[in-house]
Amino acid sequence: LWPFFEKAQELKLVMQVHTGTGYVYGARNKYCHPGLLEDVLYDFYDLRIVAFHFGWPHHRELNCLAATFPNLYLSVSFLNAAATWRPKFFQELIGEALLYATADKIVWGSDTNGSGMKECVEPFHTFQIDEEGHHGWGYPYLTEEARAKIFGLNMAKLLGIEPGKRAKRPAWSSGSFSSLNPLPTSEPAKTTWKRSTNSGLSGLRLASGSISTGTLIRKPGPAICLRQCFHRLSMARVRLKPFAS
């Protein structure tokens, strides 16, 4: 994979990687261990990597790597809902990440364990490190500035996006994306996406011909992992057309 990493670094892409455990039968945990990233981070110092799922259950190893390598970022993805039903567990995950990686290198991830978007997002607005976590374990409190960075400012900086406030959303209804207001824009989106013959979203490619497996590429800009893009696609005014053979 070294030639792949070299090309990703050359193109200034943001690479997002599953870390932690395989979660399902047949997936090998040893290939998900965050320790495998160390040589990549060392050899490709300018390649920015986002590690999913805090690296749990190997989150401490991942945090140590994030403290060492400025090009490694951590994602809250999948474990975000734990803030509600396992607050002590989530406190350890986010607390250790804040302590070692700092709030500047933690990004939000919208994929969930099936809890629904509302159950993932809303608790983080009010979640706070408790007194035991702060005084006993040294975890920094979650400030509004830190929440804003994690919710989007850090990822915007990684992707070279100028962040802006969006219109106030209506009340959540049945966790559907369709209930959200689209992003305000001064003019209609001009980007046109085409779907390849492959099923699902993994075959999407630009009309201009740029191809990416498992990612979306929107020029000019870096690749965005599909796992993090379902929400963005639902909000964007884009048109999917059958790919002409």
Q: pLDDT tens digits for 43-102?
A: 999 999 999 999 999 999 999 999 999 999 999 988 888 888 899 999 999 999 999 999
CB 112 within 8 A of CB 231: no
CB 18 within 8 A of CB 53: yes
pTM across the whole model: 0.66
pLDDT of residue 205: 30
**Three-state SS at 48:** strand
Those residues whose C-beta lies under 8 Å from the C-beta of residue 106, and which sit 6 or more positions away, are 73, 74, 75, 76, 94, 97, 98, 149, 150, 154
pLDDT of residue 153: 94
| Class of residue 2 by CB neighbours under 10 A (exposed 0-12, middle 13-18, buried 19+) | exposed
pLDDT of residue 168: 64
Task: State which H helix or E strand residue 35 sits in.
Answer: none
* Gap between the Cα atoms of 236 and 195, Å rounded: 16
The ranges of the chain with pLDDT < 70 are: 113-115, 165-245
